[in-house]
């Protein structure tokens, strides 16, 4: 995702939210796997 230097603040926020979404997805997948294996 390309970002302009003028809007680096909002860009950082965008990137942070993207990373957070990615982490939550990974966490949910891990949780699902744990639950499936636990059963």
Cut 0.95: pTM above it = no
Nearby residues of 14 by Cβ (< 8 Å), 6 or more positions away: 1, 3
Give me 22's structure tokens.
């990615």
CA dihedral 26, 29, 31, 36 (to 10 degrees): -160
Structure tokens at 1: 């995702």
| Residue 11: CA count within 13 A, CB half-sphere | 8
pLDDT digits (tens, 9 = 90+) for 1-39: 455 555 566 777 778 888 899 999 999 999 999 999 986
The pLDDT, as a whole number, for residue 6 is: 59
* Sequence-separated (6 or more) residues with CB below 8 Å from residue 11: 3, 4
pLDDT of residue 13: 77
């Amino acid at each position: 995702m390309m970002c302009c230097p003028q809007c680096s603040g909002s860009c950082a926020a965008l990137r942070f939210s993207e990373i957070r979404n990615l982490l939550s997805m990974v966490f949910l997948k891990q949780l699902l796997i744990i639950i499936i294996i636990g059963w």
